[in-house]
Amino acid sequence: MPEINDTTLEALRSRLRAATVYTAESETYKDVIVRWSGTGMKHAGVVVQPIDALDISIALLWAQEYSIDLAVKGGGHSTAGTSSSDGGLVIDLSRMNQVTVDIEQKTITSQGGATWKEVDEAGAAHGLAAVGGTVNHTGVGGLTLGGGYGWLSGEYGLTIDNLLSATVVLADGHIVTASATENVDLFWGLRGAGYNFGVVADFTYQAYDQKGPVYSGILAFTPDKLEGVMDALNESLAKPDSRFGAMSIFTLAPDGSGPMIIVIGFYNGPREEGQKKFASFTALEPVLNTLDMIPYSMVNTLQNPQATYGDRKAFKGIFYEPPLDPHFARGILNDFMAKIQSEPDLKASAIILEFTDMRKICEVPLTATALASRNHTQNGIIYLRWTDPSKDLEHRTWAREVQSKWKVELDARAIDQGVDSSVPQYINYAEPGDSLVSNIYGENLQRLQEVKEKYDPKNVFHKMQPIPTGASVRKKE
């Protein structure tokens, strides 16, 4: 890749209208290249922070004219550095974070650089909520373009199932609207493989009435309660309620005293009903119970203390066919805790398992959107966090070993239950190059290749799970 010299840089500056430009010489350059994880940070040649779609278009065309590597940064949560570029151009959307609400139509429009915090709070001000991320400083763009699970998914489906339109800046610089009536093929591709086609300047979502609080909070259990917790979680999937959701987190207690099983619970209904839904959990006598009626916008803050910025991080997607075997979970917990306790630098790590009512999600046909992982397989993450850069390879290798155990378990359970374990798995939990989560696009791949060839034939957008086309194959060669 050519270096960005003064002449090249001046060509960019002279064309931009209202964007802010940062280079290594800029006073706050170090701040703008910071990412949620240190493993995702790279030293960009230039960072452009636009405030509108036109400057995005100008920056895109400049990068292609001078053969400059391109990355797009929304929330910056990628642990693999897909929102960063080593020596290239980063289009940083963080100044494009405005959110507007149409009360009559019950829609929320968010610029591409906003986080779910802005969306949650803007909706709450009008008694509305959208299906969004469970960590509220996650960017709207990344979560949406990959599918988007949230606490409201049981009732309303995925984020993409509630996406009404998007303003997209294409690789050729054109600014278009994608919706059910405009650029329909692009709209289809954005919903599940959207990293591949352009830069989304704004999203418009269907929102829903959420005037009252929800019953939600954190339960913490000692490790001897594991089997009981798993039984209760499995029961929630066996007798699903679209208003109920839960996460189970294997981690160390905040004071480092030993293993802890955390359950984040959610019920979109009144206290009395919520208490009944969580009766089997509270009967296990948790050492912490914060379940209470709280605003919906607060639910998406419950994971924030564990998901802070800083340190080095790795994500590995894991998937399981319910019910989750408590014996298998016990083995995972024991091995995970032994590793963390032998490596104190990993003390903030966790295994996060989701328990989501998939019925609404699976009502949408597989070919209706680009997302190919609509099935009853549940999602989870191996979340490693450490500080020593020299341990990057070692920790990531170990995470892949743990991930492989989940894959073996998934395959075995699939055989027992007569289901297909080769089903595509959730793109947002698959790091690029992850060989164990390789089946991303499933039966939608051929159509996606056609959409890619139409809207990005030169494979300009290639950072996150690029769709293999003739152009991308030629680029590798």
**Phi and psi for 162 in degrees, rounded to 5?**
-115, 10
The pLDDT value recorded for residue 443 is 92
SS3 string, 361-408, reads HHHCCCCCCCCCCCCCCEEEEEEEEECCHHHHHHHHHHHHHHHHHHHH
Answer whether 70's CB lies under 8 Å from 12's CB: no
The pLDDT value recorded for residue 22 is 98
* Side chain identity at residue 128, one-letter code: L
For residue 220, give the nearest of 253, 275, 262, 264 by alpha carbon.
Answer: 262
Answer whether 201's CB lies under 8 Å from 52's CB: yes
The domains of the chain, with CATH numbers, are 7-92 (3.30.43.10), 99-209 (3.30.465.10), 214-437 (3.40.462.20)
CA separation for the pair 256, 357 (Å, rounded): 33
438-452 burial string, b = 16+ CB within 10 Å, else e? eebbbebbebbbebb
Q: What do you get for the CA distance between the two ends of the chain, in Å?
A: 15
360-379 burial string, b = 16+ CB within 10 Å, else e? bbeebebeebbbbbbbbbbb
Q: Where are the alpha helices (DSSP H) in 300-358?
A: 326-342
CA separation for the pair 317, 370 (Å, rounded): 19
The pLDDT value recorded for residue 398 is 97
Q: How far is CA 52 from the centre of its chain?
A: 24
Answer whether 48's CB lies under 8 Å from 16's CB: yes
Cβ burial of 402 (10 Å; 0-12, 13-18, 19+) is middle
Q: Which residues pair with 163 in a beta bridge?
A: 205
Would you give per-residue pLDDT tens digits along the chain (477 residues)?
Answer: 888 999 999 999 999 999 999 999 999 999 999 999 999 999 999 999 999 999 999 999 999 999 999 999 999 999 999 999 999 999 999 999 999 999 999 999 999 999 999 999 999 999 999 999 999 999 999 999 999 999 999 999 999 999 999 999 999 999 999 999 999 999 999 999 999 999 999 999 999 999 999 999 999 999 999 999 999 999 999 999 999 999 999 999 988 889 999 999 999 999 999 999 999 999 999 999 999 999 999 999 999 999 999 999 999 999 999 999 999 999 999 999 999 999 999 999 999 999 999 999 999 999 999 999 999 999 999 999 999 999 999 999 999 999 999 999 999 988 888 777 777 789 999 877 776 666 789 999 999 999 999 999 999 999 999 998 764 444 443
Q: Strands 214-221 and 259-267: what pairing?
A: antiparallel
CA separation for the pair 233, 281 (Å, rounded): 9
The pLDDT value recorded for residue 475 is 47
The pLDDT value recorded for residue 473 is 45
The residue written with tokens 């341990």 in the block is: 391
Q: Is 216 helix (H, G, I), strand (E, B) or coil?
A: strand
The pLDDT value recorded for residue 113 is 98
The pLDDT value recorded for residue 416 is 81
Q: Strands 99-102 and 89-92: what pairing?
A: unpaired
Cis status of the peptide bond prior to 2, with omega within 30 of 0: no
220-254 burial string, b = 16+ CB within 10 Å, else e? bbeeebbebbbebbbebbeebeebbbbbbbbbbee
Over the Cα atoms of the chain, what is R_g?
22
Q: Which residues pair with 259 in a beta bridge?
A: 252
CA separation for the pair 450, 147 (Å, rounded): 20
Q: Is 168 helix (H, G, I), strand (E, B) or coil?
A: strand
Compute CA distances 473 → 63, 307, 368, 431, whole Å. Answer: 20, 36, 27, 20
